[in-house]
Structure 1
Amino acid sequence: MSKKSNESGQSTNNCDNILIHSVPSTHETLTQPETIEEFALHKSIFNGNYKKVSELLQHPPPNWNIEEEIGRKDKHGNTPLHLAVMLGRKQCIHALLAHNAPVKIKNNDGWSPLAEAISYGDRQTISAVLRKLKQQSRHHMEARRSNLVRALYEIKDFYMELKWDFASWVPLVSRMLPSDICRIHKSGASLRLDTTLVDFNDMRWERGDISFIFRGDKPPHESLTVLDNEYECYQNVRYEDADIEDEVDVLMSTDILAAQMSTKTINFSRAQSGWIFREDRKELVSGQYQCDLYAIQGLVLKQRKRREHLSNDDLQKNRALVDSITRGRRASLSNGSIDSNVSIDLPRRCSLQPPPVPNLTWEQYISADKGNCPQLGRTPVHKQSNKTLRATVAMSKDFPLSVEMLLNVLEVIAPFKHINKLREFITIKLPSGFPVKVEIPVLHTVTAKITFQKFEFRDNIPETYFEVPSHYVEDSRRFPEL
């Protein structure tokens, strides 16, 4: 019979805590399972009690759901992993990650454990958390895979064009912004997206000739592939952790970014025209879809940057580091020397000195007012901007694709950041119909207008269209963020 110890160290018998000194009668009440202190895992991590953390994880109390407790948020929104990272509890971090603690989760201030790990500055911790994030992303995709494949099979084969026009209220910036037409082919459980906009991030973009292929009939590690048609190479998107050191260097050398669209106060109102006799506006989009226009109000774009982990020297060099990595890869491609083993000769970032240990007790931390979380890690150095934006959407009841079908398609190609922005926007509760044209903010000063300018059902799309050309060479480091 197994033994276990309670919080005071006393040995108890693991038999559902039934009294063993006498046999209870039918009128006697059985002893209830021992109750454990709320946020016991959080508290043990806060106090650096790794022995207790290990005990709770390996032998959870009978009334515990271990998965729920590992992902549970305290009043400040911090999970056990948040606290472990912010306080530098390395043993606790590795124990939590070994039990699949969620990484893509944010606290009340909007920061993930990875963001807090970058702030703390321990390279080993950043690498471990980043690896787990990639692993969990892969598992999420694999868990959704069967549903996505089934959903794709249920949609008739089609060809669709998404036109992207980027604009800014800053006149000179608006002239410089790119435009793009994404072409999407769907056949059976296969998707192909062709685009010339490789990346768009923080007012920087990269042009190219890129194809993204999803094959639902392929094994998971071969189902997602990105082609660089200009350099005739490809990369399978595996969310693997084989070589993430360059990515860790970039994270440690650049701002920690958090941007999100807040929809708490969002509301839709019919766009109207006319001075005296007002009437609801309608618009013919793409020459064939009659749409009702809606103004979207209360949409707030929140953007924050943290840089307490960066020195003044870092702020001068960080952009050069990212550019060097990108230029180095593209130079090797243009020279025809595609080699996944070739590394860019850049110095590795070293771990920072740990921040001061907070002079704070668990009781002081957990009793602090919500919204006023005590400082645990490095003193934050951040900028924050909130901008209320007016967006518009044109909804059509005649478009042959449903919003649910569109979300399934966009989820497959979500690794492209600008596509993911569209997916996030579509998930809000839109008016009835299909969003044939939307204008949404993608950066603080930049708005994207996306138009479904062409859609047609097509039969007999060639199977070869979803295959990698035989003369293309694999380069597993071409797209480091995928």
Structure 2
Amino acid sequence: ECAHLLLAHNAPVKVKNAQGWSPLAEAISYGDRQMITALLRKLKQQSRESVEEKRPRLLKALKELGDFYLELHWDFQSWENIVPLLSRILPSDACKIYKQGINIRLDTTLIDFTDMKCQRGDLSFIFNGDAAPSESFVVLDNEQKVYQRIHHEESEMETEEEVDILMSSDIYSATLSTKSISFTRAQTGWLFREDKTERVGNFLADFYLVNGLVLESRKRREHLSEEDILRNKAIMESLSKGGNIMEQNFEPVRRQSLTPPPQNTITWEEYISAENGKAPHLGRELVCKENKKTFKATIAMSQEFPLGIQSILNVLEVIAPFKHFNKLREFVQMKLPPGFPVKLDIPVFPTITATVTFQEFRYDEFDGSIFTIPDDYKEDPSRFPDL
């Protein structure tokens, strides 16, 4: 009753506790299907509303920014343990961004890991600031000549299938801790040490070492049966050997609500008087694995780059629905040394680090047609199931 009352008053579903768990994570652990569905729907609604709330500010910032072409290169390392449910990542990619007025186009080559076989794609993401919010963001598959609108209202069936997947998978939480982060100048030379300064693309940059960057990841599975765990393990083993999920009949089955956990014996007084961040756990007994990884990273800052950090943050915020760009945006928001980060290492997932390089930048003008859907492309709402 409390949860439904909070949802009715639009309480933020995205909020997390000190351990990084959201209300949705706790609902999955508890196992009530109706509550998981209600939270998932509200989370998606609030995400759409958040995008719309920021839209006027973003459009104003884009309008004031000159028109340009920007090229980013991504190189991903150490991806031997693919995190389940992240079916697409980009181990190596060249991204081309075109910005004109309040329109943005991102061209990318996609690596498809649906069946653990590297497949290059030819995709374009287009943000049309003049279009209605529900139609402003589309992804084009330039090989298949189809497109899909992003932020579309999901069907009942799509939501139910997503709930099935959530109820049959591990719950993940990953937090990038930047509390103790510091930057020191990188050195070069054997006998005579000096500060490292090199060209990155067309820009002279000072190199820094990033110290104290910690990724804390947690994985829970108290809501899973032995059968679920064995099935998930079989899926991962099949994928690692180049198998195909569809061929193995690993499609999610309809999940029923779990038997509620035993009634807890914690009193209200015990709960509210607990140390901050260490409240007693309510619900099912935790089955949780924790992992802390300290990242050794470098960053190259250039005073010559024509764009300021706030300008690139606005562009990245527009394309933030794509996970790796959101990670880049979060990293660039940190208190960095002077200049613009033309090359940086960022932890993207618990086992994956990306080196991002801003290779080229120029102010330019473009044919407006590159920001529209070609006439011969057909709409396919199910082309990209994880967008």
- In structure 2, what residue type is equivalent to 1:381? V
Cα displacement string for residues 417-456 of structure 1 (whole angstroms, at most 9, x for unaligned residues): 1111111111111111110000122233332111111111
**Counterpart selection for 1:360 from 243, 260, 266:** 266
1:301 aligns with 2:211: no
Does the Cα contact within 8 Å between 1:137 and 1:239 map onto a contact in 2? no
**Counterpart selection for 1:231 from 140, 144, 148:** 144
Q: State the match for 1:190 in structure 2.
A: 103
- In structure 2, what residue type is equivalent to 1:114? L
Identity of aligned residues (%): 57
Q: State the match for 2:172 in structure 1.
A: 257
Question: Cα distance, 1:392 vs. partner?
Answer: 0.7
Cα displacement string for residues 273-331 of structure 1 (whole angstroms, at most 9, x for unaligned residues): 23443211101111x2000001000000111111111112112323777999x966xx9
- In structure 2, what residue type is equivalent to 1:111? W
**Counterpart selection for 2:318 from 412, 430, 438:** 412
SS in 1 for 2:222: coil
1:448 aligns with 2:354: yes
How far apart are the structure 1 equivalents of 2:119 and 2:348? 16
Does the Cα contact within 8 Å between 2:108 and 2:122 map onto a contact in 1? yes
How far apart are the structure 2 equivalents of 1:282 and 1:183? 26
Greater CA deviation, 132-141 or 233-242?
Answer: 233-242
Question: Cα distance, 1:216 vs. partner?
Answer: 0.6
**Counterpart selection for 1:479 from 357, 371, 384:** 384
Does the Cα contact within 8 Å between 1:134 and 1:239 map onto a contact in 2? no
- In structure 2, what residue type is equivalent to 1:308? E
Pick closer, same or farther for the CA change 1:350–1:247 going to 2, 3 Å: same
How far apart are the structure 1 equivalents of 2:11 and 2:118? 34
How far apart are the structure 2 equivalents of 1:123 and 1:142? 29
1:156 aligns with 2:156: no
SS in 2 for 1:218: coil
How far apart are the structure 1 equivalents of 2:180 and 2:187? 21
Q: State the match for 1:72 in structure 2.
A: none
1:427 aligns with 2:333: yes
Cα displacement string for residues 242-270 of structure 1 (whole angstroms, at most 9, x for unaligned residues): 33122111111111111121100000111
Q: State the match for 2:15 in structure 1.
A: 105
Pick closer, same or farther for the CA change 1:196–1:327 going to 2, 3 Å: farther
Q: State the match for 1:96 in structure 2.
A: 6
How far apart are the structure 2 equivalents of 1:230 and 1:123? 39
Does the Cα contact within 8 Å between 1:185 and 1:191 map onto a contact in 2? yes
**TM-score, scaled relative to structure 2:** 0.88
Pick closer, same or farther for the CA change 1:221–1:205 going to 2, 3 Å: farther
SS in 2 for 1:107: coil
Q: State the match for 1:470 in structure 2.
A: 375
Pick closer, same or farther for the CA change 1:384–1:346 going to 2, 3 Å: closer
Does the Cα contact within 8 Å between 1:135 and 1:240 map onto a contact in 2? no
Q: State the match for 1:20 in structure 2.
A: none
Does the Cα contact within 8 Å between 1:119 and 1:309 map onto a contact in 2? yes
Segments of 4+ in structure 1 off by > 3 A?
198-201, 203-207, 318-324
- In structure 1, what residue type is equivalent to 2:200? V
How far apart are the structure 1 equivalents of 2:79 and 2:254? 39
How far apart are the structure 2 equivalents of 1:218 and 1:264? 40
- In structure 1, what residue type is equivalent to 2:231? K
How far apart are the structure 1 equivalents of 2:118 and 2:329? 20
1:32-431 map, 5 Å: 91-168=1-78, 178-197=91-110, 207-238=120-151, 240-242=153-155, 243-286=158-201, 288-318=202-232, 347-431=253-337
Does the Cα contact within 8 Å between 1:169 and 1:445 map onto a contact in 2? yes
SS in 2 for 1:442: strand
Q: State the match for 2:83 in structure 1.
A: none
How far apart are the structure 2 equivalents of 1:407 and 1:360? 45
- In structure 2, what residue type is equivalent to 1:451? T
Structure number with the bigger relative contact order (C-alpha 8 A, sep ≥ 6) is 2
Does the Cα contact within 8 Å between 2:245 and 2:251 map onto a contact in 1? no
Pick closer, same or farther for the CA change 1:207–1:374 going to 2, 3 Å: farther
SS in 2 for 1:244: helix
Pick closer, same or farther for the CA change 1:252–1:445 going to 2, 3 Å: same
Does the Cα contact within 8 Å between 1:134 and 1:241 map onto a contact in 2? no
Q: State the match for 1:338 in structure 2.
A: none
Question: Cα distance, 1:388 vs. partner?
Answer: 1.1
How far apart are the structure 2 equivalents of 1:441 and 1:374? 31
Does the Cα contact within 8 Å between 2:73 and 2:358 map onto a contact in 1? yes
Unpaired segments of 5 or more residues in structure 1? 1-90, 171-175, 332-343
Pick closer, same or farther for the CA change 1:207–1:392 going to 2, 3 Å: same
Superposition CA RMSD, Å: 2.6
Unpaired segments of 5 or more residues in structure 2? 81-88
Does the Cα contact within 8 Å between 1:306 and 1:382 map onto a contact in 2? yes
Does the Cα contact within 8 Å between 1:250 and 1:321 map onto a contact in 2? no
